[in-house]
A and B are shown apart, each in its own frame.
Chain A
């Protein structure tokens, strides 16, 4: 489905969606398995067999609505899911020829409702309790909608001035047009969630004191790591998440002709392919991992390769070189692992004689992000990852829950959705137990 020839160069989404007859055709390849393996691959419990059947027999709206019940981000996950390691991984059809393009069909289903108002879900009777959700990314949104469905009053407090989290400001527009996130935000609002951007001061303890009955932390990992390289202060050194956010906001920064990206994850790939679209003539991507060890999705790595990104795998940065306060180059060297399988800088050993230097007008760091917040009474590790009970998603502080990247340490959008749903369930169980005066679901450990 991905068309790299047109994708390259444009800052708008250009992947093609199935025409209706093409979707039916693809769906008709589905073997409609008994006990379908695809269904076990989805963290958000989307019933793939059933929505594919709906498409096959012409019930497109039914497909869209079925997916939405399990995962409100229908079209978004159809675009962003690493389907090759999820639903499609065990597709039985692969035994015959190739797996069903489940992601492509989900995307088709999502697009069926484009420009229309998705029908609202069945809502429980309104309850009095108020829940604050910190963060309006995938996890926060999924939780907010589920909590509204359960009847709670929900305020979604977003730090940034733009709601949507990484959906609006973290994924480049050519992979996901911002309008998709906006329409899901609109859906959450129609369901009755108050989405309040620009509320960076929100704090669970204060929120509980001010009258909220529960708080769900879904702030993601927003604080980028810096490597601490010589030359990091130079003009022309930037952090990938800032670059992606500014491009999402409509800015078109000039990165110069030569760009070096440091990092091997999806954000690094996104930064590299974005740099190409901002006019860079050559983009070098330097990462610690080998090609097969890179944490980025295979499909994204392949796209980057097809677009001409130069990969320097199993290398480590040494310094950023400057002249007159401005970046002019990047220096690194090849490494081997001291112990196999431990993919961290401290386990890297320099291979002498592999030192190299790249010309650079900009250097973009994309080596990961950490949780940037610490909350009173909420157990958090040094990377800012919040500890939760995996069954209830409650943190070490009663009434405070967490979900998404801030608990998982960084996973997929669909995983965040799945956790958001689970956290909403945890909140519901907690509040009902409290109401009943029992301790069921309320105690932790």
Chain B
């Protein structure tokens, strides 16, 4: 296969591919970002920087994973802060990186307090050679206590004011990174647009409390017996991210960098369909390394080829027209569960699910079992309302399908 051309343009900036390292530990030094670029990432957002006087006092441990059965990291909770590195040193690295990797897009994430501080850091970052600026209005832990981070992104007013300061000082495109820890992101995104920013990055982490140590009653991650609510990321938050991305893309109409739970090219394609123009990744890179971009690039390339599409841009927002209000959904379309008896292993998980979580529509066929004594569940079409839950519990892919009812079509 020829190397797929995944180049995209986002806010007027050309990216070799839409896969970008999010502002996080994997982008905290030039050495790390360079390895990311060597692996194939189309861009990187340098971990959020603050001015020299901003004290960054880290705690440890600052991360913990949520395990579920055989998965030890379906979600990652962190109480990390912005970069604790010295601003001039990082900006020197940015200049150097930009020279070494002219094709890759270097975005610098930053955070400040007053108007003067925001404008100062904006000028210094773009003077260092950043292609774009990303303003974190969204970190849910630590910084809000000091009036920064998500304390800004939760207020349309503060968001507008600060976005405008940065836009006024900036000569490169400005992205505003928003928080999902709001009831409705759209009024805030409108203010970002009104302030003249080029685009929105969403979502930052979801504020959460991972759990407790049941022996000491200390929350997790346990910092000497105490903890604090932190930022939750990883595969678990993908549905939340897709919702916010599509809300912004559909109703606000401003370019979106999608981020939140992307692991595979399929996740990335879904973000494009939801209206994201580039896709940022963090937790999966921390978990599996920079090399996973190879699967993102190749997988998306094969997919586009299979669909006869030229570019990732052909996917952007293609799913949005299909997101409608509940009221607008068809009431004429009726499905019922259909079980493939050849694939069925006879566990009856669908029976339990339907009995205790549905409408008591599935039972083992009363008349004797099959030739090998196998147990075959049968759907009572009269009782089945087509909810689809049985399909979600079936251990065999493709065994239960929701088929359109012929009688009521």
Contacts and interface: CB of A to CB of B under 8 A. Distances in A.
Contacts of B375: 35, 37
B385 interface: no
B70 A31 contact: no
Nearest to B352: A34
Nearest to A32: B349
Interface stretch (B103-111, B220-228, B340-348): B340-348
Given A96-B395, A96-B396, A34 B69 contact: no
Contact of A34 (B70, B364, B395, B396): B364
* Residue among A28, A33, A34, A37 with max Cβ neighbours from chain B (10 Å): A34
Interface string A29-63: 00111110100000000000000000010000000
B351 interface: yes
A95 B70 contact: no
The range of chain B's interface size is 10 to 19
A34 B351 contact: yes
Contact of B352 (A32, A37, A56): A32
A327 interface: no
A24 B69 CA distance: 7
Interface string A143-169: 000000000000000000000000000
A92 interface: yes
B345 A92 contact: yes
Contacts of B70: 25, 28
The range of chain A's interface size is 10 to 19
Contacts of A37: 375
A28 B69 CA distance: 6
Contacts of B364: 34-35
Contacts of B69: 24-25, 28, 56
Nearest to B344: A95
A93 B395 CA distance: 9
A34 B349 contact: yes
Interface in B349-386: 349, 351-352, 364, 375, 377
Contact of B347 (A24, A56, A92): A92
Interface string A306-336: 0000000000000000000000000000000
Contacts of A32: 347, 349, 352
Interface in A43-101: 56, 92-93, 95-96
B350 to A, nearest CB: 8
B377 to A, nearest CB: 8
A25 B71 CA distance: 9
Contacts of A96: 345, 395-396
Interface string B2-38: 0000000000000000000000000000000000000
B351 A31 contact: no
Nearest to A31: B347
A13 B48 CA distance: 56
23 contacts: A25-B69, A25-B70, A28-B70, A31-B347, A31-B395, A32-B349, A32-B352, A33-B347, A33-B348, A33-B349, A34-B347, A34-B348, A34-B351, A34-B364, A34-B377, A35-B348, A35-B364, A35-B375, A37-B375, A56-B69, A92-B345, A95-B346, A96-B395
Interface of B: 69-70, 345-349, 351-352, 364, 375, 377, 395-396
Given A34-B377, A96-B395, 11 more contacts: A24-B69, A28-B69, A31-B349, A32-B349, A32-B352, A34-B347, A34-B349, A34-B351, A35-B348, A56-B69, A92-B347
Nearest 6 CB-CB pairings of A with B: A34-B348, A95-B345, A31-B347, A28-B69, A34-B351, A33-B347
